[in-house]
Amino acid sequence: MVGPNGAGKTTVMKAILGMINLTGGSVIFKGEDVTSLPPQSRVVRGMAMVPQNHNVFTSLSIEENLEMGAYLRKDDYSASLEQVFSLFPVLREKRTQVAGELSGGQRQQLAVGRALMTQPDLLMLDEPTAGVSPIVMNEIFDQVLRIRDQGIGILIVEQNARQALSIADVGYVLVNGKNRHTAKGYELLNNPDVRQSFLG
């Protein structure tokens, strides 16, 4: 989901998760109408979100943060833990460190890791590359693709429209609260309207 500032991208994401009440329309997830359910119930059904800010428990260790992701799971989550560590090796290194001591990029990885521990079917990322250097941004998009390859659906809200659309299977362009274009990523990249508006 891309679009200019204030278009409503984060609002859509929060509405999908149920943190904001809908004034109209509905949210259908895996064939079920979840519009009236609170966020916790949607999390149980397989939705996970990584907010833009305050997305880790700063006073808990990395390992504990990941455990919180697995809070609702009744099964043995050590396999998931392994997956997260192989996706983000630096987390394994620092697993007993307190999350507050991590760098911005590491926190971001931890935040995504925590969300992955819930074994989601839909992973929502709110501006994951905000404020990071281009190298880190590429790493993040790499990891996004690897997660996608594991069969998890990913919804990204992004400012860096060009890069995001280049890895997107489907892109939505939001302008003034409305969805203006829906198409495959590279199609949008080549769409003159979209390019003019804000691909720069």
Partner 1 sequence: MAYLTDVANAFLWLFNFLILPATTYGSTLALGALGVTLVFGILRFANFAHGDMMAFGTMISLIGVEFLNWLGIFTYPIPAGILFLPVAIILTALLAITLDRTVYRYYRSIKSPPVVMLMASIGVMFLLNGLIRLIKGPELQIFNARRIFPANKIDTVELIERFGDRAVQTKTDFVTQEKVVQVTEPEFVFFTVHDFKQATGLSEGFGLDLIQVLTVAFAVTLFIALYWFLMRTRLGKGMRAFSDNEDLALLSGIDPRRIVTWMWLITGALAAIAGTIYGLDKGYKPFTYFQMVLPIFAATIVGGIGKPQGAIVGGYLVAFSEIMITANYKKVANYLLPENWEVEGNLQLLGTEYKFSVSFLLLVIVLLLRPSGIFRGKVI
- Interface contacts to partner 1, rule CB under 8 A: 17, 19, 39-40, 43-44, 48-49, 51, 54-60, 64, 67-69, 71-72, 114, 118
| C-beta of 4 vs 39, nearer to partner 1 | 39
Torsion of CA 180, 185, 186, 192, to 10 degrees: 10
| C-beta of 49 vs 91, nearer to partner 1 | 49
As measured in angstroms, the least distance from the Cβ of 67 to partner 1 is 6
Sign of the dihedral through C-alpha 143, 147, 148, 154: negative
As measured in angstroms, the least distance from the Cβ of 184 to partner 1 is 30
Nearest residue to 163 (alpha-carbon basis) of 182, 177, 144, 148: 144
CB atoms near residue 60 (< 10 Å)? 15
E-assigned strands of 9-146? 28-29, 32-33, 47-50, 122-126
As measured in angstroms, the least distance from the Cβ of 172 to partner 1 is 22
| C-beta of 28 vs 72, nearer to partner 1 | 72
| C-beta of 8 vs 39, nearer to partner 1 | 39
As measured in angstroms, the least distance from the Cβ of 58 to partner 1 is 6
Q: Is 158 helix (H, G, I), strand (E, B) or coil?
A: strand
As measured in angstroms, the least distance from the Cβ of 180 to partner 1 is 29
| C-beta of 55 vs 83, nearer to partner 1 | 55
Cβ neighbours for 101, distance < 8 A, ≥ 6 positions apart: none
